[in-house]
């Protein structure tokens, strides 16, 4: 059901029946390694390129989600996902390996919640019974494409963020045991004229505020409805900018219940500058850390708002501003959640 202009309400409450998360060696040294299913000691994963290593992580996340579910791979209706690499090849090559019908998506670091929103919409409307939904990123592959190869050793400003090496996937179903997806607010492209590719948090903050504000207004709820409102990739700078914008717009957000995946995955003493980002950032943290908290009964209602900067190396080189987007998905404890 459409509520307002951009919010879907999922009356049939699609269920997250399983998940799979993968991380690299830097993530293994972070704050939430126990919430990541598979951790690798090597950035290469014994592959010939970082892009192939990223593909391997996405395959592992999908396979882990299926393995930990009560169904067989042949029962999966669709695989919906994406990444940051040119033509989303790691995800597309994963789809070849998984061997199920596939929708490839790109909304930069907002791809995680874009894929979950679309998956829930399909299942809620009886368009599928089971859907794999996920996203991935690799620090070295992303740095090589968008900035400089890591071996170049270029110095970054304090506004820059660290791309997460990892992958995450959930298996969404019509029915089953697990947290349920209750609504989604689809983002609009917001462009405030920023062109600094080393300040993604500041660029994405207005998009997050726009989506969260409309989500609360269209659902006619207060921010206190949620135990946590979780942004994807704002980092220290984007979080502070967004809090200022909420204050100016008269939206009362409890700072203690407003958290960011980019500030959750790594420790403060890890050299990540303004925080983490990447398509795997919100995916790994949400599908690992926060879903585990829901399964333990520590959280009942969360709003996950993945943020994405829709630029490319070409657009940056042509001095174009950076358009941004944020998609919000609400996840709540199901009545049969273990």
CA 169: distance to chain centroid?
A: 10
Check residue 130 and give its pLDDT: 98
Q: What is the pLDDT along the chain (338 residues), one digit of tens a residue?
A: 899 999 999 999 999 999 999 999 999 999 999 999 999 999 999 999 999 999 999 999 999 999 999 999 999 999 999 999 999 999 999 999 999 999 999 999 999 999 999 999 999 999 999 999 999 999 999 888 877 666 656 678 888 899 999 999 999 999 999 999 999 999 999 999 888 888 889 999 999 999 999 999 999 999 999 999 999 999 999 999 999 999 999 999 999 999 999 999 999 999 999 999 999 999 999 999 999 999 999 999 999 999 999 998 888 888 899 999 999 999 999 865 43
Check residue 153 and give its pLDDT: 64
DSSP-derived 3-state class of residue 215 = helix
Q: Which residue, 296, 306, 309, is CA-closest to 328?
A: 306
Check residue 338 and give its pLDDT: 38
Residue 193, token pair as written in the block = 């004229």
| Pure H helices in 99-230 | 111-124, 139-146, 200-219
Check residue 337 and give its pLDDT: 42
Per the CB < 8 A criterion, the answer to whether 238 and 201 are in contact is: yes
Other C-beta atoms closer than 10 Å to the C-beta of 130 total: 23
Check residue 198 and give its pLDDT: 82
* 3-class SS letters over 75-104: HCCEEEEECCCHHHHHHHHHHHHHCCCEEE
Check residue 227 and give its pLDDT: 98
CA–CA separation, 2 and 9 (whole Å):
6
Residue reference for tokens 């900067």: 309
Q: Which domains does the chain have, with CATH numbers?
A: 2-173 (3.40.47.40), 181-332 (3.40.47.40)
Check residue 48 and give its pLDDT: 96
Per the CB < 8 A criterion, the answer to whether 62 and 20 are in contact is: yes
Check residue 150 and give its pLDDT: 66
Per the CB < 8 A criterion, the answer to whether 242 and 234 are in contact is: yes
Check residue 218 and give its pLDDT: 98
CA–CA separation, 270 and 152 (whole Å):
20
CA–CA separation, 208 and 308 (whole Å):
9
Q: How far is CA 190 from CA 41, 208, 243, 251, 278, in A?
A: 38, 9, 17, 19, 19
What's this model's pTM, rounded to 2 decimal places?
Answer: 0.95
Buried/exposed 34-51: b ≥16 CB within 10 Å, e otherwise: ebbbebbeebebeeeebb
Per the CB < 8 A criterion, the answer to whether 83 and 146 are in contact is: no
CA–CA separation, 72 and 203 (whole Å):
42
């Amino acid at each position: 059901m459409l509520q307002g202009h951009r919010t879907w309400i999922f009356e049939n409450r699609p269920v997250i029946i399983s998940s799979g998360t993968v991380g690299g060696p830097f993530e293994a040294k972070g704050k939430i390694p126990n919430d990541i299913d598979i951790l690798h000691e090597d950035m290469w994963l014994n592959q010939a390129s970082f892009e192939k290593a990223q593909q391997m992580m996405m395959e592992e996340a999908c396979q882990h989600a299926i393995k930990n579910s009560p169904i067989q791979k042949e029962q999966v209706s669709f695989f919906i996902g994406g990444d940051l690499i040119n033509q989303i090849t790691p995800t597309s090559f994963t789809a070849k390996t998984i061997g199920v019908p596939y929708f490839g998506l790109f909304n930069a670091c907002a791809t995680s919640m874009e894929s979950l929103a679309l998956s829930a919409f399909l299942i809620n409307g009886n368009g599928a019974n089971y859907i794999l939904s996920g996203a991935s990123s690799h620090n070295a592959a992303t740095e090589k494409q968008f900035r400089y190869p890591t071996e170049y050793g270029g110095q970054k400003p304090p506004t820059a963020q660290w791309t997460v090496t990892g992958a995450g996937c959930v298996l969404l179903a019509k029915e089953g045991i697990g947290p349920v997806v209750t609504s989604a607010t689809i983002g609009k492209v917001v462009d405030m004229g920023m062109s600094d590719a080393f300040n993604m948090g500041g660029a994405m903050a207005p998009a997050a505020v726009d989506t969260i504000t409309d989500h609360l207004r269209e659902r006619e709820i207060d921010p206190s409805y949620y135990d946590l409102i979780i942004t994807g990739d704002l980092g220290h700078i984007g979080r502070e900018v967004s809090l200022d914008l909420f204050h100016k717009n008269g939206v009362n957000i409890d700072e203690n219940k407003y958290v960011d995946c980019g500030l959750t995955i790594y420790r403060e003493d890890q050299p990540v500058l303004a925080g983490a980002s990447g398509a795997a950032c919100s995916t790994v943290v949400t599908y690992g850390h926060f879903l585990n908290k829901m399964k333990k009964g520590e959280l009942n209602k969360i709003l996950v708002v993945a943020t994405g900067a829709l630029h490319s190396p070409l657009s940056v080189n042509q001095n174009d501003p950076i358009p941004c987007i944020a998609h919000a998905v609400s996840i709540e404890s199901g009545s049969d959640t273990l």
